[in-house]
Structures are given as structure tokens and as C-alpha cells.
Amino acid sequence: MVKAYFENIHLQIIHHIENAQSDIKICVAWFTDFEIYSKLVDKLKEGLNIEVIIANHKFNKKSRVDFKEFLNFKGKVGYIGNLDDSSRDSFMHNKFCIIDNNLVITGSYNWSFKARMNDENILIIQDDSSLTKQFENKFFDLKPQFGFAIKNNKVALLPIENIMAKWDKKPNLNSSNKKPTQNTSNILDKF
């Protein structure tokens, strides 16, 4: 099933987030829509796994969406782009979301409050495993340079290089059973 939407797009996104059962992966250039963000936090509280990749851009930096509550409930956030905002840098401009590995939301719509006033569109694609897999592959191919974490009760942006040095150390052993702690291959799980 494929359906196009040109109006009330944020409500369609919220509707599909509300219906998510296990997993949400989001890759959008701009994410400043607090209503969508709040719905994602609600889903984290229900135990869903949610990962977000956003662009390093001033709109995201100055947004009311600071991801603090999201991180506190085990959400994962990656940040793509150099910190100097140089116009010479390539810009991550994707706009897609994968829900429960069965539904893709994609189109021109950024997840920003301003986008509600623009002439935008999205496609909702459901039950197309081949296409969904292509979007999943793209999501996992992206390599965030920074990740968000809580530090001193504030959201901090941590460079990947500094974090990776810690990952390369020998695994910590749990003193009670001497087993290595869980190691995961997903880069966003490191935050």
C-alpha cells in the first residue's frame, strides 16, 4: 500500500507513531516539531526502541526539542555534520522514518513546526519489505559524527572519535559472573 499526503502531514506522522509496536528509526534533516517529539517520548515510555539521526544545523541546535527526556528514556540520537556549519560540508538532507520494519514515511516534509505551513508531501509505504529494507540499509549506512548523551543533567554532544576510544578498550567484566558486558554493532547503541 502506498498513499500520498499533502495536508495535515504532522498528524499523519503522529498517527503512525501512535500505532508503532516495537521499533522506530528516524532520519530527518530538521527535527523541531515538539508535538511529534512528545509522541516519541510517550512511545519510549511504552518500551519501544527509537533511534533518530538528525543534521548538524542551527535549526536543530536552537530548537525546543533538546532530546533530554528522549535520552532519559533510552532513546538514541545521532548527529550528522561538522560542528563549524561550513557551507562546503555535505549536508544530510534525508527525510524518512521506518516503523516496525513494515512502514516507511518519506517525502519533502521535515519534522519541523515551520514545515506545517509549507507546501510539502509525504508518502506512506506499507507492506513493501524490499523498499523498507533499502531504507533500513541507508539508515545503518549513515555514520553520525556526534551523539547526544546526558552529562551533568544536560544534553551534551559527544564526538564519535572520543567515544570510540572507550569502545576499543577490553570489555568490562561483571564482577559477579565474570562475563563481558553486551557488545552491539549498531553505532547508535553506544550512546
Q: What is the pLDDT along the chain (191 residues), one digit of tens a residue?
A: 999 999 999 999 999 999 999 999 999 887 788 899 899 999 999 999 999 888 765 666 666 667 777 778 888 887 776 655 555 555 677 899 999 999 999 999 888 778 888 888 899 999 999 999 999 999 888 866 555 565 666 665 555 454 344 434 444 444 444 444 444 344 444 43
Q: What is the distance between the alpha carbons of residues 121 and 105, in angstroms, rounded to a whole number?
A: 10
Q: Please give the pLDDT value at position 39.
A: 94
Q: Which residue has the cell 549513515?
A: 142
DSSP string, 140-178: HH---SEEEEEETTEEEEEEHHHHHHHHTSPPPBPTTT-
Residue 167: what residue type?
Answer: W
The pTM (predicted TM-score) of the whole model is: 0.73
The CB-side HSE value for 144 (13 A sphere, CA atoms) comes to: 30
Pairing of β 154-159 and β 146-151: antiparallel
Q: Please give the pLDDT value at position 10.
A: 93
Q: Based on DSSP, count helices (H) and strands (E) in the chain, helices before strands.
A: 6, 9
Q: Please give the pLDDT value at position 144.
A: 62
Q: What is the distance between the alpha carbons of residues 86 and 91, in angstroms, rounded to a whole number?
A: 10
Pairing of β 95-99 and β 103-107: antiparallel
